[in-house]
Structure 1
Amino acid sequence: MIDLKVADLPAFTHTPIDSISATHARVVEKFGTHTTRPLAYRLKQLESFYWALKDAEPALLEACSLDLGKSAYEAYLTEVGWVLNDIVFMHKNLKRFMKDEKAEDTSWTNWAMNPIIRKDPLGAALIIGAYNFPIQLSLGPLVGAIAAGCTAVLKPSESAPNAARVMQRVVEESLDPEGYAVVQGAIPETTKLLDCKWDIIFYTGSANVGKIIAKRAAETLTPVVLELGGKNPAIITASADPRLAARRLLWAKLLNVGQVCVSQNYIMVDRSILPAFLKELKQAFKEFQPNGAEDNEDYGKVINERQWQRLRDMLDSTKGKILIGGKTNKETLFFEPTVVQVEDQHDPLLADESFGPLIPILPVDNLDEAIRTANAIHATPLGLYPFGTKAETDKILASTRSGGASVNDAFFHASIPTLSFGGVGDSGTGAYRGRASFEAFTHRRSITTTPGWVEGLLDVRYPPFGAKKLKKLRGMTDLKPDFDRKGNRTGGGVWWLLGVSGSNK
């Protein structure tokens, strides 16, 4: 596959719906053979997967350009290189991740039973990818499933068909065909996949579709990981550095044309610093795009006409004032980064997640107003971006909730491949990346082994019961507090014993 090009692949076609049940049965049956559990099998799959992706790198970069207009630099940074590094990290650490764990704080009466936590694969996984980062958000979870010893079916986004075609070729030519498969398609194919009983479903995408998947999964008590989006706020206090805030938040909207689930959806700026911030924002535009966005090869396009029209409708419906940008081209799916000053938290640009290069600015009178507004617009966004002093940003973090946060930056927390990433509440459930990807597809199975020689200790559990056995049970199991009735620290069991002995004198 070293010389593979997108044009060499078959055209994007939907998987026949009547074949999906058989694909599901195949990966379920493969998991039932237990051959995916050994470390050697998992390492072999990761190794083969790595080199297949490496060989297909030019085609993957080309696909990202065709689907999203991504430059080779951006596609490698956020897609191909990301997944390659993820595989290497998992390969190096998998043996350690798989090791049994000793139970914490085991009492002497339980020590003999050797309580441990074993890492069992959950089983057959369904992974539903997204279009904005079609490689990373599809193959990243798949790496976790392979590492955990699961089998899996991947359903890439049909909105990024070229990336989906390349990924299918890579999976089919590198991974065990009995354990891993790709299903292509849209709503009918996804619906058929959800008709099947899975051991875990991993979905990345919108909250509306996430609700549908959660409901379908609940019908069969299937656990889910939902990586959704949200109306992510950025808050710029009066003490913030306007230049740093402008540059860092603008970068977040230029990357992938703002089609990033953790990108800020709106920026609240203290009125006292608003003129300085807008000045720095205009300067940053000149530095990042000296010839404008339309002639910038590092700036991509909106994924398709439907999403472009949605963004255009949002911009047309706002009551705010356009300060920067506003140019669009439906034929090329171009949408210029557009800064709009709004005066109302109910403005259409803030009411929904834009998932594009719209940059609403909402002036606020003080930090307390910003916090109240952030909590009112979306109580549990995927990301939160406070700019200001440590005291101010600590107050923001203590007074809000979010899946993650980057202080004095834009979604840097989401750019660290080994840092656990996930939403909370409306922005999702579960987490992955790095070790968390392994754990997302793993069941922590508690196990004890009771030897015959402890039967003398276990007589307390056998009837008949009485005061003598209760006293013995208390002595074996009761933990002594390290606090008194007023909450003062007492030193725990040692000081408790000293106190008892002193009171008897």
Structure 2
Amino acid sequence: MASKQADILLPAFAATAVEAIPEICATSRETFRSLKTKDLDYRKVQLRRLYWAIVDHRPQLEEAMLRDLRKGRYESNFTEIDWVAKTCLFALENLDKWAKEEPIGSPSVPLHFWPNKIRTRKEPLGTVLVIGAYNFPFSLSVDPVVGAIAAGCTAVLKPSEGAPNVAMAIKDIFDKALDPGAYRVVNGAVPETTALLDQKWDKIFYTGGAQVARIICAKAAENLTPVALELGGRNPAFVTRNADLKLAARRLLWGKTLNAGQVCLSHNYVLVEREVLDEFIRQLNVAFNQSFPEGAKASPDLARIINERHFLRIKAMLDQTSGKIVMGGEMDQSELFMSPTAVLVNSADDSMMVQESFGPTFSIIPFDTLGQAIDIANKVDPTPLSLFGFGTRDEFNKLIHSVTSGGATFNDSFMHASLGNVPFGGVGGSGTGAYRGKASFDTFTHFRTIAETPAWAEGSLRVRYQPYDWSQLRLMRWLEKKKVNFDRDGRITHGASYWLKYLLGLGAANKKSAVLRWLVIVFAWYSYTVRSR
């Protein structure tokens, strides 16, 4: 695939000197301790500068992704460049609201505690490490950093060396646009990553595979560093006899053509109800021919496998399968080209099923009942990143009730993760934590509970002082008392009308108790409002 932007010069990949990494990290920590990143205006300036740097470096990013993944300009903008630019704007639009302190009132805080002004303060965690992935080398690296900037953290970003041209383009953007004391890029491979993991971080955010994730978690545990892991999984899709087979085939094929199927969310296998199996395969081939009228290899839109190692890994799955190729199958190692390929298998132990393909290939396995399909999915991978269901809504509800996944989509491929402002994350083996939109801000934020106890409230605190006075404890119990509506066997004993009577004081033992209860409530409320002025 020849470059249409060959006149664009990109710097050759250069790893960061390992001996320089401790100083880079120390500078980032010192900048955080200076408190400058806690200022909202500072954060906004960094986000604005990053936005414009992305816009201005669009040609360089397009060329870098063309060289690394042979990804066309359309897909580079659609899934990466525009994505992160919009993430910057969304953070700018919402940062004031996200960062605002939140008062905590009833029912979390009893009325007689209201004078303490309990509230939640949003504070940055500190200095964080973000480790990106090769499949979406720009968006999966920079998108989390946007959340770190918005939260007020300083950050060091380690892009994937698997996409070296994009890694250098990211470094150029950061060097030109962002505060170098707060936000730095470290490029390299295993030695540089190891040196970074030897440093103390306040959080590590990693996108990639489970094997490396285990290494990162082990290193993080040495310093009790929290981690957010965005991994993958052997994601199932379910197609029942009630599905629109033409639509299901078209949308599932799309999930394996985008970025040549190198998407952690894409389906690894499709469970198809046996009576519609032949028609589904036919519709897959119809959709294939519509997407690639001149053949997949001739398409200017289909990306390539990232490198030869991953090409050979996927090829080995196809070479070892006992199944039958029913769509695609063409490949060219010299160009790292692999056509979207479907393989009909008859066992969950087939080579196509036992590992994540992370490419344009997937298997098809028939089932006779939905319960059988659910059992297969839970055996193959009990916690995939995604789940897709094509059929009736009741069938989909049964699927999401019976099969755990990071996210799920009804009647489509990973639509639940196609918006940049809704939380995205895995569960179990597919990851921990979430990001995107406000979730990105939250993942790098410490929610700090604050209380202010006025001097005049000392009388109400007698219950905590020694020598203890049982009458004070009984008073507190009475003030906080809630009538339960269930018995010791867990059965409901009182309905909504009972709770309404109790709230109005009618459930009190006598009128004097009811009046006293309301007096205490009114006094507490009055005290709180007066002190809040």
Question: Shorter chain as normaliser: what TM range?
Answer: over 0.9
Structure 1 stretch displaced more, 476-485 or 44-53: 476-485
Paired residues of 2:10 and 2:64 also in contact (CA < 8 A): no
Deviation (angstroms), 1:502 = 8.0
Q: How far 1:503 sits from its partner (Å)? A: 12
The Cα offsets for residues 365-389 of structure 1, whole Å up to 9 and x where unpaired, read as 1100110110111010000001110
- Distance between the aligned counterparts of 2:110 and 2:228, measured in 1? 34
Partner of 2:269 in structure 1? 266
8 Å CA contact retained: 2:10, 2:165: no
Query: Contact 1:5–1:59 at 8 Å: present in 2 too?
Result: no
1:487 to 475, 489, 492: 492
* Distance in 2 between residues matched to 1:502 and 1:153, nearest whole Å: 65
- Is 1:130 the counterpart of 2:133? The answer is yes
Q: Distance in 1 between matches of 2:507 and 2:454?
A: 37
- The residue type paired with residue 426 of structure 2 is G
CA distance in 2, matches of 1:503, 1:399: 52
Contact 1:15–1:183 (CA under 8 A) maintained in structure 2? yes
Cα distance per residue 1:474-498 (max 9 Å; x no partner): 1233333354553133433733853
Contact preservation (8 Å) 1:61, 1:75? yes
Amino acid at match of 2:435: Y
2:479 aligned residue: 476
1:348 partner SS: coil
Counterpart amino acid of residue 467 in structure 2? P
Instruction: Tell me, in whole angstroms, the C-alpha distance in 2 between the residues paired with 1:361 and 1:33.
Output: 56
Aligned-partner residue type, residue 85 of structure 1: K
Amino acid at match of 2:231: L
1:481–1:493 CA contact under 8 A, matched in 2: no
Q: Could you tell me which residue of structure 2 aligns to residue 311 of structure 1?
A: 314
Rounded Cα–Cα distance in structure 1 between residues aligned with 2:157 and 2:334: 31
2:439 to 436, 458, 461: 436
| Distance in 1 separating the partners of 2:161 and 2:425 | 23
- Contact preservation (8 Å) 2:138, 2:170: yes
Aligned to 1:13: 14
Write the letter of the residue equivalent to 2:352: L
Q: Shift of residue 7 of structure 1?
A: 4.9
2:531 is matched with which residue?
none
1:61 corresponds in structure 2 to: 62
Match of residue 203 from structure 1? 206
Asked whether the 8 Å contact 1:121–1:443 carries over to 2, the reply is: yes
Equivalent residues of 1:326, 1:337 under 8 A apart: yes
Cα shift readout 1:449-492 (whole Å, capped 9, x = no counterpart) = 10011111001111222331221121233333354553133433
Aligned-residue CA RMSD in angstroms?
Answer: 1.6
Q: Which amino acid aligns with 1:448?
A: A
Provide the C-alpha distance between the structure 2 equivalents of 1:482 and 1:41, rounded to a whole number of angstroms.
52
Aligned amino acid, residue 24 of structure 1? C
Distance in 2 (alpha carbons) for counterparts of 1:203 and 1:32: 24
Q: What is the distance in 1 between the residues matched to 2:286 and 2:10?
A: 44
1:338 is displaced (CA, Å) by: 1.0
Q: Give, in whole Å, the separation in 2 of the partners of 1:6 and 1:66.
A: 13
Q: Match for residue 75 of structure 2? A: 74
Q: 2:424 matched to which residue of 1? A: 421
Alpha-carbon distance, 1:5 to partner: 8.3
**Does 2:359 align with 1:356?**
yes
Query: Shift of the alpha carbon at 1:339?
Result: 1.1
Show CA shifts across 1:359-413 (max 9, x none): 2100111100110110111010000001110111111111110000011111111
Distance 1:455 1:356, change over 3 A: same
- Return the TM-score normalized by structure 2: 0.92
2:28 aligned partner: 27
Q: What SS does the aligned partner of 1:349 have?
A: coil
Q: Which runs of 5+ in 2 are unaligned?
A: 513-533
- What pairs with 1:217-296 in structure 2 (closer than 5 Å)? 217-296=220-299
* Number of equivalences: 501
Closer, same or farther in 2 for the Cα pair 1:494/1:465, shift >3 Å? farther
Query: Within 5 Å, which residues of 2 pair with 1:162-177?
Result: 162-177=165-180
Q: 1:144-159 residue pairs with structure 2 within 5 A?
A: 144-159=147-162
**Preserved contact between residue 21 and residue 196 of structure 2 (Cα < 8 Å):** yes
5+ residue gaps, structure 1, are none
CA distance in 2, matches of 1:389, 1:379: 23
User: Is 2:127 the partner of 1:120?
Assistant: no
Structure 1 residue 498 corresponds to structure 2 residue 503: no
- After superposition, the C-alpha distances for 1:59-113 in whole angstroms (9 at most, x for unaligned) are 1111111111111111101000000000000001100000011114221111110
Q: Aligned in 2, Cα 1:274/1:502: closer, same or farther, shift over 3 Å?
A: farther
Give, in whole Å, the separation in 1 of the partners of 2:291 and 2:113.
Answer: 62
Provide the C-alpha distance between the structure 2 equivalents of 1:292 and 1:169, rounded to a whole number of angstroms.
37
Partner residue in 2 for 1:467 = 470
Cα contact 1:481–1:492 (8 A) shared by 2: no
